[in-house]
C-alpha cells in the first residue's frame, strides 16, 4: 500500500534523525517537568508579622494555627503597628496581622472579635490569594473554637469539590500538557512537507501515481504515533513528578490524546502545504499554537471571564476542548457520557485539518 510506503519512509527518516526524535517524543515530557515545577498560582511561605495586643492563650493559638502550615511563615512579632508598616514598606513581610486586646474574652463571651490584617497589594494576585487563605484560616479557627455553635464568623462556607486544597498545579497541569503537546505536534509536521518541497523530492512524488491523500495520511501516521507516545510520557511525568493521578479511564484519555495529536498534526500539515520555506513554516506553526494555547484556551484564564469575541475564537481551538476533556477525565473522573462534546469537537477538528491539508496539497502548484 502506498500510504504504508510513505509512512515507512517517514519513519526511517525520523529514526535517522535522533535530534528530531528527541524533540518530538522526549522534549514535551521534559518541558512538563520544568514548567510544572515552576508554574503554580499558589502562594506559599508568605511572610507574616503579628502584633499581638491580647497576649492570651487564644490569640497565641490563632497565630500558631495560621503559621503552622505551609502558607504563612512567621517572621516575628512586632512591637507596634508602625513597626508593621515599616516591615510592609520594606517588603520584609507581605501580611501584617493585628490581634486586638480583648480577643479571647470576646470569643469566650460570645462576642464577635475581629482581627485586622494588612496585605501588601503590590502583587495583586498573590495578595488576593493570601487574603483568601487568611479568611479561610480565620473562619476555620472560629469554627473550631466554637465547637457546637452553628454561627460561623464568616457568613459563607465554602465547600470545594474535586480540588479541595485548590491546588493550582492540578488545575494548571492539564493545560500545560495540552499546550506543550499542541506546539510540538504541530511543528513536527509543519516542516515535513516543506522540507520535501525545498529538497525537490516533492516534485518526484507529484509525478508519481501517489495521491495527495496518500501523502498526507502516510506522513500523519508515524508522526501521530510518536506524538501519542510523547503524550503518554507527559502524563507519566505528571504522575511521577507531581502526583497527578488520573481519576477516570486511561483508555478514554488515550482516545482524547490521540484525536488531539492527529488534529495538531493535521494543522501542521496544512501549514506545511501552504508555506514555501521551512523557516516560515516553523514560525507560523509556533505562533499559531503557542499564544492561543496559552491565553484563550482556558489554560490559565477562565473562558467565561473573557470578552465574547475571544470566547468565540476559542471555540475553534482544539486545545480548549482537549484541556476541558483532560480536566474532566483526570480531575473529575468523567466518562464518555460527560465529555462526548469534547471528543466530537476533537474528532471534527482532526478530520477537517487532514481534509484541508489534502485539498491544499492537491491543488498546490510546485
Partner 1 sequence: MTEPAMTLTDARLSFGSHPALDGMSFHVRTGEMFGLVGPDGAGKTTAVRTMLGLLPLDGGTVRVLGRDPARRDRELKEAVGYLSQRFTLYGDLTVDENVEFFGDIHRVKDLRARRERLLGFTRLGRFRRWRADRLSGGMQKKLALACTLVHTPRVLFLDEPTTGVDPVSRRELWGLLSELVLSGLSVLLTTPYLDEAERCGRVALVRAGRTLACDTPAALRASRRGTVMEVVCAPVRRARDLLLQSPRVGEVQVFGDRIHLFPRAPDDALTDLVAGLAGVSVSAVRRVQPSLEDVFIWRVAEAGP
Catalog residues that contact partner 1 under the rule CB under 8 A: 2, 4-6, 8-9, 12-13, 16-17, 199-201, 203-210, 214, 365-366
Shortest separation between residue 24's beta carbon and partner 1, angstroms? 16
Which cell goes with 307? 470578552
Instruction: Find out whether 174 and 326 touch, Cβ atoms under 8 Å.
Output: yes
The smaller minimum CB distance to partner 1, of residues 4 and 316, is found at 4
* Strand order through the sheet with 116-119: 72-77, 46-52, 95-99, 116-119
The smaller minimum CB distance to partner 1, of residues 60 and 195, is found at 195
Distance between first and last Cα of the chain: 25
Shortest separation between residue 274's beta carbon and partner 1, angstroms? 18
Shortest separation between residue 350's beta carbon and partner 1, angstroms? 25
Q: Quickly tell me which residue has 510546485 as its cell.
A: 366
Shortest separation between residue 204's beta carbon and partner 1, angstroms? 4
Shortest separation between residue 210's beta carbon and partner 1, angstroms? 5
The smaller minimum CB distance to partner 1, of residues 7 and 66, is found at 7
233-260: b (≥16 Cβ within 10 Å) or e: bbbebbeeebebebebeeebbebbbbbb
Closest CA to 216 of 361, 321, 37: 361
140-162: b (≥16 Cβ within 10 Å) or e: ebbbebeeeeeeebeeeeeeeee
Shortest separation between residue 217's beta carbon and partner 1, angstroms? 13
Q: Which residues pair with 47 in a beta bridge?
A: 73
240 CB contacts (<8 Å, ≥6 apart)? none
The smaller minimum CB distance to partner 1, of residues 1 and 161, is found at 1
The smaller minimum CB distance to partner 1, of residues 156 and 366, is found at 366
User: Distances from the Cα of 24 to the Cαs of 181, 229, 323, 335, 353, in angstroms?
Assistant: 9, 9, 20, 29, 20
What burial class does residue 89 get, using C-beta atoms within 10 Å of its C-beta: 0-12 exposed, 13-18 middle, 19+ buried?
exposed
The smaller minimum CB distance to partner 1, of residues 16 and 304, is found at 16
Shortest separation between residue 364's beta carbon and partner 1, angstroms? 11
The smaller minimum CB distance to partner 1, of residues 8 and 53, is found at 8
Amino acid at each position: 500500500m502506498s500510504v504504508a510506503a510513505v509512512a515507512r519512509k517517514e519513519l526511517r527518516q525520523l529514526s535517522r534523525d535522533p535530534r528530531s526524535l528527541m524533540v518530538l517524543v522526549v522534549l514535551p515530557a521534559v518541558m512538563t517537568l520544568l514548567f510544572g515545577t515552576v508554574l503554580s498560582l499558589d502562594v506559599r511561605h508568605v511572610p507574616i508579622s503579628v502584633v499581638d495586643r491580647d497576649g492570651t492563650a487564644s490569640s497565641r493559638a490563632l497565630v500558631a494555627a495560621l503559621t503552622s502550615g505551609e502558607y504563612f511563615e512567621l517572621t516575628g512579632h512586632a512591637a507596634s503597628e508602625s513597626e508593621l508598616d515599616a516591615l510592609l514598606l520594606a517588603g520584609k513581610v507581605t501580611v501584617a496581622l493585628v490581634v486586638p486586646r480583648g480577643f479571647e474574652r470576646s470569643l469566650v463571651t460570645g462576642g464577635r472579635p475581629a482581627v485586622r490584617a494588612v496585605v501588601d497589594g503590590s502583587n495583586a494576585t498573590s495578595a488576593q490569594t493570601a487574603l483568601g487563605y487568611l479568611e479561610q484560616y480565620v473562619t476555620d479557627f472560629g469554627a473550631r473554637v466554637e465547637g457546637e455553635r452553628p454561627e460561623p464568623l464568616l457568613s459563607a462556607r465554602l465547600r470545594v469539590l474535586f480540588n479541595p486544597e485548590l491546588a493550582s498545579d492540578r488545575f494548571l497541569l492539564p493545560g500545560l500538557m495540552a499546550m506543550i503537546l499542541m506546539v510540538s505536534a504541530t511543528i513536527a509536521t509543519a516542516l515535513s512537507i516543506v522540507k520535501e518541497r525545498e529538497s525537490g523530492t516533492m516534485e518526484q512524488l507529484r509525478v508519481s501515481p501517489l495521491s495527495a491523500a496518500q501523502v498526507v495520511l502516510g506522513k500523519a501516521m508515524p508522526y501521530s504515533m510518536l506524538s501519542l507516545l510523547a503524550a503518554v510520557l507527559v502524563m507519566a511525568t505528571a504522575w511521577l513528578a507531581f502526583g497527578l493521578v488520573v481519576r477516570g479511564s486511561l483508555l478514554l484519555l488515550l482516545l482524547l490524546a490521540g484525536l488531539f495529536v492527529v488534529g495538531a498534526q493535521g494543522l501542521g500539515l496544512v501549514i506545511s502545504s501552504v508555506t514555501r520555506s521551512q523557516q516560515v513554516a516553523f514560525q507560523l506553526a509556533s505562533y499559531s499554537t503557542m499564544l492561543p494555547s496559552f491565553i484563550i484556551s482556558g489554560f490559565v484564564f477562565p473562558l467565561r471571564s473573557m470578552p465574547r469575541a475571544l470566547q468565540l475564537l476559542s471555540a475553534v481551538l482544539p486545545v480548549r476542548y482537549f484541556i476541558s476533556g483532560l480536566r474532566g477525565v483526570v480531575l473529575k473522573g468523567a466518562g464518555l457520557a460527560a465529555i462526548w462534546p469534547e471528543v466530537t469537537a476533537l474528532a471534527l477538528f482532526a478530520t477537517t485539518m487532514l481534509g484541508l491539508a489534502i485539498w491544499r496539497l492537491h491543488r498546490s502548484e510546485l
